[in-house]
Amino acid sequence: MENKLGKLIDLVKKLPEDCLDETLEYVIGQLEEHTEEKPIPSCPHCNTKTATKFGKVAGKQRYRCKDCGKTFGDATNTVMSHSHYGEAAWKQVIRDTVNGLPLDTTADALLISHSTAFNMRHKILLALEAEEIREPTVLDGVCELDDTYVLESYKGSKLPKDFWRKARKHGAVAQKRGISNEYICISTGIQRDGDAYAQSVTRATPGKEDISAVWGGRIGTESLILCDGAKSYNVIGEGCGCPVMTVDENRGFAHVNTSNGFHSFIKDRYNQYRGVATKYLNRYNALFSGAFRNSEIFVDRIYNILCLNDTPRHHSIKDVKNSNLLDI
């Protein structure tokens, strides 16, 4: 996907000085024209349509609701609330996040700091995770369930002096062989012709309680569950009454190839990000779940979710640092 905003910024930097004023006037005119075209939105606080214009703050239109008396702007309750950047910048951050681009690539293209790019990306991820909590994904039909593993990561944090292991460099391997507590389990499920879901709740091999924590209420009663033979997945069949079929070489139908493709997608994105801090992993799992097989259309879908103001979707920088962290 082309970074049109980055390309525009590069072109503007190459303009001769005597063209800057004319270009600036044109851009300001476009902003004012599109601002005037917008109809007055419904009040995000009481959902009525009685609002009137109520001046501007920092060049952004404000409104006042006649019913509840509260003021609001176009971005109130959305992820873009209190942001200095518009639709093009946010869509580019979404696009780069979906495509697995490093944060510094996004920051350099948009001429923003690394920390700003980080906060914008994680506000998007938090909104996706919150959306999944509000409307949980439920898998129906033929569903493949399996686990994949990534090394624990403390990327961006300084390890204490008495930590049990030394800091790793990118690309390092675990100290122990096999699946150990150094690995974070990502439990994944996918419909062969539909949605996918991934979540981490434990290290190493998950037990029945871990499987129940991830999949409780997320499997339809008319589903057929295919797994690789791990006995812990039988708890799902016991809970929802669905049959559980293990992979059998004599059954061409009973395979987890679709799930393996989802795992490859996760690992590919994980490597492109050059690792993900374990505490943020479930935020990224929410992204992986929605983006798999939908990358081309997912950018607009995410942006539309971020723009909804029916419930508060804005997260502060404090939320980025402290909300819904994975602690295992």
In-domain check, residue 166: yes
20-69 pLDDT, tens digit each? 788 878 777 776 666 556 788 888 888 888 888 888 887 778 889 988 88
Question: Does 261 lie in the same domain as 182?
Answer: yes
Question: Does 153 lie in the same domain as 52?
Answer: no
Question: Does 269 lie in the same domain as 184?
Answer: yes
In-domain check, residue 231: yes
Question: Does 67 lie in the same domain as 20?
Answer: no
Q: How far apart are CA 182 and CA 175, in angstroms?
A: 8
Q: Where are the alpha helices (DSSP H) in the chain?
A: 4-13, 20-37, 87-98, 103-110, 114-134, 208-215, 234-240, 257-272, 281-291, 295-307, 317-322
In-domain check, residue 9: yes
Say what the pLDDT of residue 249 is.
45
Beta bridge mates, 149: 185
Q: Which two tokens stand for residue 316?
A: 């502060």
Question: Does 151 lie in the same domain as 21?
Answer: no
In-domain check, residue 327: no
In-domain check, residue 234: yes
Question: Does 245 lie in the same domain as 209?
Answer: yes
Place of tokens 């419930």: 311
Question: Does 193 lie in the same domain as 55?
Answer: no
Q: What is the mean pLDDT of each run of 10 residues along the chain (328 residues)?
A: 73 79 78 68 85 81 88 83 83 89 90 93 92 90 90 86 78 78 92 91 90 89 80 74 66 77 92 89 94 80 81 84 90
Question: Does 46 lie in the same domain as 30?
Answer: no
Host domain of residue 66: 39-73
Say what the pLDDT of residue 250 is.
43
Question: Does 273 lie in the same domain as 151?
Answer: yes
In-domain check, residue 233: yes
Say what the pLDDT of residue 190 is.
93
**Whole-Å CA distances, 194 to 139, 219, 300:** 8, 13, 19
Strand 196-203 versus strand 183-191 pairing type: antiparallel
Say what the pLDDT of residue 33 is.
66
Say what the pLDDT of residue 41 is.
82
Say what the pLDDT of residue 48 is.
86
Query: From the DSSP assignment, how many helices (H) and strands (E) are in the chain?
Result: 11, 8
116-129 pLDDT, tens digit each? 999 999 999 998 99
Question: Does 264 lie in the same domain as 183?
Answer: yes
Say what the pLDDT of residue 162 is.
82
In-domain check, residue 99: no
Question: Does 69 lie in the same domain as 212?
Answer: no
DSSP sequence for 98-126: HTT--HHHHHHHHT--HHHHHHHHHHHHH
Question: Does 44 lie in the same domain as 29?
Answer: no
Which of 185, 196, 180, 326 has the alpha carbon at shortest distance from 259? 196
Say what the pLDDT of residue 159 is.
82
Beta bridge mates, 316: none
In-domain check, residue 111: no
Model-level pTM? 0.81
Considering its fold, how many domains does the chain have in total? 3
